Structure formats: structure tokens, C-alpha cells
Amino acid sequence: MLSSIFTVGFLVSLLAGTIRLATPILLPALGQIYTQRAGILNLGVEGTMTIGAVAGFSAAYKTGNLWLGLLAGMFFGMLWSLIMAWLSVTMRANQVIAGIALNILGAGTAVYVYRIIFGVQSLPPQVTPFAAVNIPLLSKIPIIGQIFFQHNILVYLSYVMVFVTWFILEKTTFGLKIRAVGEHPRAADSKGISVAGVRYAAVLIGGLYAGAAGAFMSIAYMNLFTESIVSGRGFIAVSVVIFARFMPVRAMWGALLFGFASALQMRLQALGIDMANQLMLMLPYVMTIAALIFASKKAEFPSAYTIPYSRLER
Amino acid sequence: MNSKIINSIKQFVIAVLTIILALAVGAILVWISGNDPAEAYTTLFRGALGSKARISEVLVKMIPLTLMALGMSIAYKAQLWNIGANGQLTIGAILAILPGIYLGLPTVILLPLSLILSIVGGALWCGLAAWLKNRFNANEVITTLMLNYIATYFLAFLVYGPMMDPDGGGFPQSKVLPEAYHLPLFSAQMRIHGGIVVAIIVIIMMFFFWRTKLGVKIDLIGQGDKIATYAGVNVKKTVMVAMLISGALCGLAGWNEVYGVQYRLLEGLSSGYGDIATIIALLGGLNPLGIVIASFFFSALLVGGATMQRMTEVPYSVVDIIQGLVIVFVIARTAIHFGWPQKLLRKEKKDA
């Protein structure tokens, strides 16, 4: 049993799988860094991703163009998160409840839309997914090439987004505004920053990333749409953000950790090895709680986390 | 007192209007899907309330949903956002079933013992989140959410591993409880079971709970830590107690599912009741009567929705959408008129 685990082939497919499976967690997590740093906890990512998945799949299937599918996923992810922005910023509703509501509503809407577009079919319609792009030269390196440089284009782009997100948040005025609004909305307001405007933007960007991740699931990973296509990845993304203490690079490590856990489980299952993998799948969640303990101690949460802002309130 | 009654009536009327609005949107969606809304809703209604057996099904769903929603309401009143109901139900169910499968006790001892164990299990699982909040200031939303996953995987570990029924053909489920332990049925043709008595007792207790000293304290924490401290309330202790009770009721729902409905552990035991219970608690305005009514409505919607899906071409997702819409409408309205930001509105008035 052990001899079949400790082979090069197993390790290569395990690590390559880790990188691929981390992608649909990394993308929404990066998006949620904007949102959460602006002080809004959007638990509705799960629903947003499902909407992105169905929009991406439908557009890709009907137009035959995967890129249009990706764009549709992003657009509708953003549109869906507009509801969250409205509820949490304009209506100042409780964010936890709003998120839960939008998950239920999102799952229902996505499945309904799929049914309206595709009807009841005995075989689920499929798309030809994004093909693997072998990076010239690098992909030829033994082992390393197979692990890192033979993925589809969206996987590479997602990891590029780690840098982009870091840059926007740390090096641009917009990033500064987001942090200001999350830390001290009143001060930001007095400096002439529109708290509501920045928070809307932060939620919508979060929706954009989540929608892209949903589209990744349906047109670059599963190649079809099912009701349970997201299966908890949105919630994992939310926890990765906290695990990562709101930093993009750390979020990447967090996503890779979750990716590793699920890749290992899949690989072991493929080998027919019966190990207590449920306990292993549990591990990242335990680690998130552990990270939360340390993060909370150091008070690294944005000060205005989950607190609606009102000019009239003191 | 008089204004209180008027306020309750107002809340009730608005809740009903909210539901009607959601059902109206649902009707449009049914129509778009190429079906007859009238037929769909008739089927749904008959499926939920058309016969004694159907009503029994609604009650079977109502038991866990009401218990959990009441549990949620206690935490929510204190502004503690416990979203870990599913995990608390799961741990309660696991602890409750252990003596039933492994000890072979007489029924009179087993049933109370398992009931207590379920309460302890749920309470500890939620209390853990409260402890993390008190001790490390860890956000309870995230910890209860994580504890859901941990409980779910732990249950999966048990039913795939040490507790798997050796004669179960490899299905991820535990051995069946001996028949002597099953909660008694009121009729052989219906699934409604003795657990409803426990649920009714809890509901009655909840009617008095908000008048007790503890209830008032919990309410005070919800008004803000400062106010509670001025009033002489030990915030941390009350947070812990509120969460313990909240989890206990969810654990109790697990006992009901195991001893009254499933008679065994199986994967996905909580079937996502937690989220619906959250919605019920809020639609019910966090008050016991409101929760019972809201719980009845949602249980009927779930049971009738399943029938509608079987009997007509209407997709079940319409039911999900109706549920989601109800809560979106509720929070949008709550934010304007009632509930949480009332403090805030009062301040706005003062400022103006």
C-alpha cells in the first residue's frame, strides 16, 4: 500500500492536483480580501460562485467560446454580489444573515436558470474545457514541469492575480481607500472618501473574482454544471481569507493547503486506499480556527469588520 | 401592553405580506418554466396539508427546525451569530446514539440518557465557539462555521470507519438502533413520533424564558456590551450561557432525528436544516410564537415542494428561491423598520 503512494508518479499528480484544486479557492479568497478589508463579511460567496458557474457554463455552451463563458461568469458574479452590497451597505442589514440568504437564493436561482436554459436532459450537456497550456521549455523539465507548467490558462492567471491583488491593495490609492474604509470609516468619510462607494466596489470586486472561480469550476474543471458544483469552496475561501489574515500571498498558501488536502483525498481514493481521509479533510478547518486564535489576538481584523456605517451614528 | 400587541400584529401582517410577495415571485418563475402556477401551488398545498399523513410529514420536519430556530433565537438575541446549528445537531446526534448502539440499557434509562447526551454534545460544540470568543476574541461566525465542517467530517469518518454497519453493504451509515429505543409513533401509518412532546415542552419553556433573569440578561447583551455592563451583567459569562443553550437545543434536534426519524447515523444527517432554522428564527422575529408559525410555514414549503417536484414539471429550485426571497425581504425590511438597527434609528431621531 505504502509503496504505491511513494512513487514519483503519485507525487507528481498529487502536487499538480494541489495547484489545480487550489485555484477555485484562491480566486474567491483573493476577491474576498477586498471585500473583507473594506469591513464586509460576505458569506454569500458560495452562492455567487454557483451563479458564476451557471452563467459561465451557459455562455460557453451557447456561444462555443470559453472566454465569453469566463466573462459571463465574472459579470453575473458581480451582478449577484450587487444584492449583497445593497443589503449590507445601503440597507445596513446583518451581513451574516444576508450572506446565508443569498447562498440559498443563489443556489436556487442557478439551478432554476440551468433548468430553463437546458431543460431536463438524460445526459448533462458538456463543454470542451480550456486545454492545458504547456509552457515552452519549462514544461519539459522532468517532474517540475509536470507539476507546475502543464495547467490550463486560468490556473496560471489565478496565480498571477495573487500579485495583482497584492499590488492593488498595497500600492494603489484605491487599495488605501479600501483599507481606510475598513479600519476607520468615519475618518475616511471626513477625508472625503465615499464609504458606501468604496464598500460597494469592494463587494462587487469580490463578486467578480467569485464569479470567475465559479466559471472555472464549470468550464475549466468539471466541464459541466451541477447543483453541488461549488460544494463548500466559497465558505473555504472566506476562511482562507481569515487564515491568511487578509494578505494575498498568505491566501495563496492557505488555498494550496486546502487544495493539497482535497488532492490527496482524491489521489488516495483513485488508488483505492481506504484511509481515514475524512480526518485529514478536517485538518484545514481546525487550522483555520487555530489561525483565528492568533489573528484575533493580534487584532488584525479591520476595525469596522461587519459593522455597517452610518454618518448619523456615533 | 396595548402597543405591544399592535406591534406584534403589525409584525405578523408584514411577515405574511413578505411570504405572499415571495410566493408571487415564485408563481412568475413557475410560469416562466412553462407550468401552471395555480396547479403548482395547489399540488404544493395538497402535498403539505392534503391529508393526515402529509401533515404528519410537516410536523416531522417542524420538530428539528423549531428546536434549532429557538436555539438560534437565543444566540441572535444576544447578537451572537451562531451559524453552527448543523454541526451542533451532528455532534448531539453522535453522542446520543452511542449508548443506544453500544450499551444495551433498558429503554427507560436509555432515552433520558441519550437525550441528555445530545444536549451536552450540542452545548459543548457551541460552547467551544463561545469559549474561543471570550478567551481569544475569535469571531463566532467563523468558528461556528468551521465547527460545522469539523463535525460533518467527523460524522463521515465515523460512518465510513469505526461505526459503519458491518451488514450495511458498505453504505456510509451506522447500525440501526434496536426497535425498543425508537421513539413511539402515534400511528403505524405515519412518521410523526414522540419527539414532538419534547419539542412542545421546549416551546412552552421558551415562552417563559425571555421573562427570566437569564433571558433579560441575554437581551441586554444584545443591546451592546456597554449597556449590559452598566446594568451589572457579566458579559462573558452570559455569552457562554447563551451559546450553551443555543447549542443544546440544536443538539436536541439531533436526538430527535436519530431516535425519531432515521434510527441510525448517516452522512448528511443535518440535511442543511441549520440555514433554514436561521431564516425561521429571523422571520419569526426571534420570538417563540413567531418561530413556531414560521417553522410551520417553512416545513410545509419543504414537504409540499418535494411533492410538487414529484407530481409536476416544476423544478424544486423554485422552493429554494422562495425561501431565499423571504429572508432577503425580511432583512431588507428589518433594516428599515424593526429589529437590530433600532438603536441606531433612535439615535438618528435624537440627532435630528
Partner-chain contact A104 B327, CB within 8 Å: yes
Q: How many CA atoms lie within 13 A of B203 on its CB side?
A: 19
Question: How many cross-chain Cβ pairs, A to B, lie less than 8 Å apart?
Answer: 164
**Could you list the pLDDT tens digit for every one of the 314 residues in chain A?**
566 667 788 888 889 989 999 999 999 999 999 999 999 999 999 999 999 999 999 999 999 999 999 999 999 999 999 999 999 998 888 888 899 889 999 999 999 999 999 988 888 888 888 888 888 878 888 888 888 888 888 999 999 999 999 999 999 999 999 999 998 888 888 888 899 999 999 999 999 999 999 999 999 998 899 988 988 889 889 888 887 888 999 999 999 988 888 888 788 777 766 666 777 778 778 877 887 787 665 556 787 888 888 776 65
Long-range contacts of B97-102 (CB under 8 A, 24+ apart): B97/B174, B97/B177, B97/B258, B97/B264, B97/B265, B100/B177, B100/B178, B100/B181, B100/B258, B100/B259, B101/B163, B101/B174, B101/B175, B101/B177
Contact of A50 with A106, CB cutoff 8 Å:
yes
Q: What is the ipTM of this complex?
A: 0.84
Buried b or exposed e, range B188-221, using 16+ CB within 10 angstroms: eebebbbbbebbeebbeebeebbeeeebebbbbb
- What's the rounded Cα separation, in Å, for the pair B317 and B271? 16
Contact of A44 with A187, CB cutoff 8 Å:
no
The C-alpha cell that represents A64 in the structure block: 462555443
Cα B333 from chain centre: 22
In this prediction the pTM is 0.88
Contact of A202 with chain B, judged by CB distance below 8 Å, is answered with no
Using the predicted structure, report yes or no on whether residue B337 has a pLDDT greater than 60: no
Contact of A129 with chain B, judged by CB distance below 8 Å, is answered with no
The values of phi and psi at residue A298, to 5°, are -85, 5
The C-alpha cell that represents A93 in the structure block: 442589514
- CA-based nearest distance A152→chain B, Å: 30
User: Mutual orientation of helices A95-118 and A66-85 as an angle, nearest 10°?
Assistant: 140
Chain A nearest-CA residue for B317: A108
Overall size of chain B counted in residues: 352
Q: Determine whether B326 is exposed, middle or buried from the number of CB atoms within 10 Å of its CB (0-12, 13-18, 19+).
A: buried
Contact of B269 with B121, CB cutoff 8 Å:
no
**Domain boundaries of chain A, sorted by first residue:** 14-297
Q: Determine whether A226 is exposed, middle or buried from the number of CB atoms within 10 Å of its CB (0-12, 13-18, 19+).
A: middle
- Domain A14-297 grouped into CATH 1.10.3470: yes
- CA-based nearest distance A238→chain B, Å: 9
**Residues in chain B closer than 8 A to A100 (CB atoms):** 83, 275, 278-279, 327
**In Å, what is the CA distance from A97 to each residue of A73, A159, B60, B294?**
24, 31, 25, 16
* Side chain identity, residue B20: I
Checking phi first, is residue B232 left (phi over 0); if not, alpha (psi -120 to 50) or beta?
Answer: left
Lowest mean pLDDT among A210-224, B16-30, B43-57, B216-230: B216-230
**Which is more confidently placed, B138 or A61?**
A61
